[in-house]
Chain A
Amino acid sequence: MAKRFDIARLPGFAPIALLSFVALYLPIFTLVGYSFNAGNSVAVWSGFSLHWYSAAWANETVKAATLRSLSIATLASAIATVIATMAAIGTTRRRAFKGQTLIYVAINQPLMVPEIVTAVALMIFFGMLKQVTGYQGLGYLILAHAAFCIPFAYLPIRARLEGMDLSLETAAADLYASPWQTFRHVTLPLLGPGIAAGAMLAFVISLDDVVITEFVKSGGQDTLPTYMLGQMRRAITPEVNAISTLLLGLTVALLTAFFLLTRKRG
């Protein structure tokens, strides 16, 4: 390597960087550590125990909220991934057409509008619908989640499509494959990792949402994050730490999978 290291070194930068990493992880480790605290208090360490995990497990409200979070995230990310895949195919690898930029901006809109503004808008609009239709179910939360998950599913799929070789599809068409056959047997398998990555990001984003859920949910529709936020009003119990640790573990597992999927081959 010709690059000389001392040239890129700027005095004081490495210590600040290492401090930043410590600052990023120390609070997370504290939270994880205290979730294994045997004691009743979040303040005093009184030995290792899985007590708070079993307490969370035995808590029917937590169980219901977890199940709700997982079903919303599964359905919302599935919807978002299917329609984001279609949109990604519709907006890449063809001659630039009128309105393409408009579609692109519309799809990325949830990334630009502050969450609290969307939350308020949905609360008003879905509130009207709830009154008119009488339907109060989880459908509203699922659609709201699916909508803000679209850009997170769209972007990795689009990135994958743009890096793909067109010639394979041309070859398939030359061999008299119908457009559907080409899509089913050539495009889709090649696109697979991008779709999986997009679906995973959408899932994580849906699972994490607090603000929009807090405003859209009807009574008794707490998800895990809104339940945890509600607990903050009272005294925090290590139970919340235990739930946080489990969610954290799930996020890290999904992220690792995401990185393995999107890693450049060869």
Chain B
Amino acid sequence: MSRAEDRQARASTRNGWLLSVPALLLLLFAASGPLVIVIVYSFLTPGQYGNVVWGFSPDGWIGVLFTRDIFDDTLGLADAHLTIFWRSVKLSLETTVLTFLAGFPTAWFIATRPPKARALWLFLITIPFWTNLLIRTFAINEVLRSEGLMNTVLMKLGLISAPIQVMYTDTAVLIGMAYVYLPLMVLPLFAAIDRFDMKLLEAGYDLYASRWQVLRHVILPIVKPGIVAGSILVFVPSLGAYVTPRVLGGGKNMMIGNFIELQFTQGRNWPLGAALSLLLLIVVMVALLVYVRAANKGSNPHG
């Protein structure tokens, strides 16, 4: 490399950094940086009326799993917390499975339309994708609540005599989350199926494979990166969901997002809230790492 080229390359790197600095500074100030404060807060003592008192205490982290007995000060497993963690994980997994079962046929259907129709079907998926999550939660609420669309129709048809009480149950939260996150599953699946070479199906059928065998042994393995991407895109926001469980689950069927909020409001235990936030962040980061590794494998299937 000549000297002039060398100088040019260095200038280019410098400009690259300089141009990125404003974005990085804003993110440091109003997104990533404050996460450090959360780490500090998780090791402080809760103040009596919320906030914290500046003094080290491991109780925030201990409180994630244990409660201290008020009488003899012994530690016991916090069943209520475990119930909330288990509900969050279970509902998020169920949401992922449900959106896959509905989303895979939907993505396949869109990808196999003729090009012009395909753009329209895809647009129909993108509209809910970009529509306010709160509005979509309200919309599913209109269907599920006791005087809502579902119960009205079922009662008019004479199938039920009294409204089914779905609202404020885990089922309502599950239906709601599957509803709001379905587009997040369909879009990456579509991207994967769109690249799928349909000639491979011909090859499969020529070799006397049944439709099920073709699906199982040809289609699914090849579109696997799309399946992994869609699952992560649904699982991660489900796990941190706040709005949907709050509106559809009411106060009783909390998920971890609502439980975190509770610590900063009525719970008045900010260190516990901080520790719970970090726990959620760690789980999400692990899920994302799994995704990145799976995606890297997927991009090099013959390697």
Q: Measuring CB to CB, which residues of chain A are less than 8 angstroms from any residue of chain B?
A: 3-5, 7-14, 16-21, 23-28, 30-31, 34, 41-44, 79, 82-84, 86-87, 89-91, 94-95, 97-100, 103, 106-107, 109-110, 112-118, 120-128, 143-144, 146-148, 150, 154, 201, 204, 207-208, 210-211, 215, 225, 228-229, 232, 236, 240-241, 244, 247-248, 251-252, 255, 259
The CA-CA distance from A90 to B24 in the complex, in Å, is 12
Which A residues touch B257, using CB under 8 A?
114, 116
Q: What is the chain B residue whose CB lies nearest that of A140? A: B30
CB-contact partner of B142 in A42, A86, A100, under 8 A: A42
Interface presence of B102 (CB below 8 A): yes
Q: Which of B138-197 contact A (CB under 8 A)?
A: 138-143, 147-149, 152, 179, 182-183, 186
The CA-CA distance from A118 to B31 in the complex, in Å, is 6
Interface centre among B103, B121, B130, B133 (most CB of A within 10 A): B130
Q: Is the CB of B132 within 8 A of A117?
A: no
Q: Is the CB of B23 within 8 A of A20?
A: no
The CA-CA distance from A24 to B102 in the complex, in Å, is 11
Q: Is the CB of B211 within 8 A of A10?
A: yes
Q: What is the chain A residue whose CB lies nearest that of B256? A: A116
Q: What is the chain B residue whose CB lies nearest that of A92? A: B16
Q: What is the chain B residue whose CB lies nearest that of A250? A: B132
What are 6 A-B contacts defined by CB distance under 8 Å? Answer: A10-B215, A94-B13, A100-B16, A116-B257, A120-B260, A124-B38
Interface presence of B237 (CB below 8 A): yes
Interface presence of B27 (CB below 8 A): yes
Whole-angstrom distance between the Cβ of A54 and the nearest chain B Cβ: 20
The CA-CA distance from A232 to B109 in the complex, in Å, is 36
Q: Is the CB of A229 within 8 A of B20?
A: no
The CA-CA distance from A148 to B30 in the complex, in Å, is 8
Interface presence of B4 (CB below 8 A): no
Q: Is the CB of A244 within 8 A of B135?
A: yes
Whole-angstrom distance between the Cβ of B273 and the nearest chain A Cβ: 6
Contact with A along B226-267 (1 / 0, CB 8 A): 000000000011011011001100000000010011001000
Q: What is the chain A residue whose CB lies nearest that of B111? A: A8
Whole-angstrom distance between the Cβ of A261 and the nearest chain B Cβ: 14
Q: What is the chain A residue whose CB lies nearest that of B279? A: A117
Q: What is the chain A residue whose CB lies nearest that of B233? A: A111
Whole-angstrom distance between the Cβ of A259 and the nearest chain B Cβ: 7
Q: Is the CB of A3 within 8 A of B102?
A: no
Q: Is the CB of A225 within 8 A of B32?
A: no
Whole-angstrom distance between the Cβ of A130 and the nearest chain B Cβ: 12
Which B residues touch A30, using CB under 8 A?
139, 142-143, 148-149
Q: Is the CB of A143 within 8 A of B29?
A: yes
Q: A21-B106, A120-B273 are in contact. Are A210 and B34 (CB under 8 A)?
A: no
The CA-CA distance from A184 to B17 in the complex, in Å, is 20
Q: A83-B26, A244-B138 are in contact. Are A24 and B128 (CB under 8 A)?
A: yes
Interface presence of B134 (CB below 8 A): yes
Q: What is the chain B residue whose CB lies nearest that of A115? A: B240
Interface centre among B26, B125, B140 (most CB of A within 10 A): B26
Interface presence of B131 (CB below 8 A): yes
Q: Is the CB of A90 within 8 A of B16?
A: yes
Q: Is the CB of A97 within 8 A of B23?
A: no
Which A residues touch B270, using CB under 8 A?
124
Contact with A along B266-295 (1 / 0, CB 8 A): 000010011001101100110010000000
Interface centre among A8, A23, A107 (most CB of B within 10 A): A8
Q: A91-B16, A248-B135, A251-B130 are in contact. Are A106 and B274 (CB under 8 A)?
A: no
Q: Which of B89-114 contact A (CB under 8 A)?
A: 101-103, 105-106, 108-110, 112
Q: Is the CB of A9 within 8 A of B274?
A: no
Interface presence of B201 (CB below 8 A): yes
CB-contact partner of A31 in B34, B138, B236, B247, under 8 A: B138
Q: A7-B205, A30-B149, A114-B257 are in contact. Are A24 and B23 (CB under 8 A)?
A: no
Interface presence of B83 (CB below 8 A): no
Q: Is the CB of B242 within 8 A of A211?
A: yes
Interface presence of B207 (CB below 8 A): no
Q: Is the CB of B131 within 8 A of A146?
A: no
